[in-house]
Amino acid sequence: MPEIGENAPDFTLPVTGGDPVTLSELKGHSVVLFFYPRDDTSGCTRENEDFTALKDQFEALGCKVFGISKDTIASHDKFMAKKSLTIPLLSDAEGDVCERYGVWKEKKMYGKTFMGIERSTFLITKDGTIAQVWSKVKVPDHAAAVLEAVKAL
């Protein structure tokens, strides 16, 4: 997992509703990347709804916000339409970006072990360095906490 002060790993990923997003092309803007396990599940829906509710405030601060999961763009489009979400979602179907950001981890649920995305958020400064990392995110109040961190940049 990249640490505070390190350069954020660059990537290019497909995004809902537009041309692929390349992180290095967003220099000059702060960027929030929130990695979540799966479209249309309760915690992931709540997290996306919370970031959507604060989108205008992030934009007013010049901050770009993206959700990332391994779901396809088709899945993301369906999820966004069903839940009226407006935060762009990136598809890391191959899992390369999840690996480079250290969020692809062994997880346990109901006594079973499996690999999956550990809910994590990265705040990246205008010059492309990691300003803050949230691991093992608990959804309630998380988007608001990230907004406060962006205000403090």
Residue with tokens 């940049």: 153
Active-site residue 98, yes or no?
A: no
- Judged by phi (left if over 0) then psi (alpha if -120 to 50, else beta), residue 82 lies in alpha
Collapsing DSSP to helix, strand or coil, 119 comes out as coil
Q: Indicate the DSSP class of residue 55.
A: H
Fill in the amino acid letter for 140: P
- Judged by phi (left if over 0) then psi (alpha if -120 to 50, else beta), residue 15 lies in beta
Catalytic pick from 44, 89, 137, 143? 44
**Contact by Cβ (8 Å): 36, 44:** yes
Q: Which residues are catalytic?
A: 44
